[in-house]
Amino acid sequence: MTGPFLVLHKVRGEPEFDIAIPLQIGDEDGWIIPTSGHRCYPAKAWRLSELNIPPFEAYTTGQNWDILPDHYSVNADVTTVDLSTILGIEPPKQITIRRRI
């Protein structure tokens, strides 16, 4: 069983669809959702390559693909937020931890 699958599994008590891959977890067979790294327990799984879906390349070429935002953008601006300022509290003092080697 290789390749990605469309799986139906339970999330917070509700049925959900995700893309998952089978893998060996210790001595047992398991499933993982590669975009999150979470394990799932499918009630049903369909191999993506066997579903009647046009090839992946049909969706990833052209102008529409180029303007879509990326789910995990590596070029996104990183904004830092000081939680103590938002909460109106004094930030904790920095402490030095000495380690013995």
Q: CA–CA separation, 84 vs 91, rounded Å?
A: 5
Q: CA–CA separation, 37 vs 14, rounded Å?
A: 19
CA angle 18, 24, 28 (to 5 degrees): 105
What pLDDT sits at residue 93?
A: 78
Over the stretch 27-86, which tens digit does the pLDDT of each residue have? 999 999 998 899 999 999 999 888 877 777 777 777 777 787 777 666 656 667 777 777
The residue that leads in pLDDT, 51 or 8, is 8
Q: What is the pTM of this model?
A: 0.59
Terminal Cα distance for the chain, rounded: 47
Q: What residue spans define the domains of the chain? A: 1-55
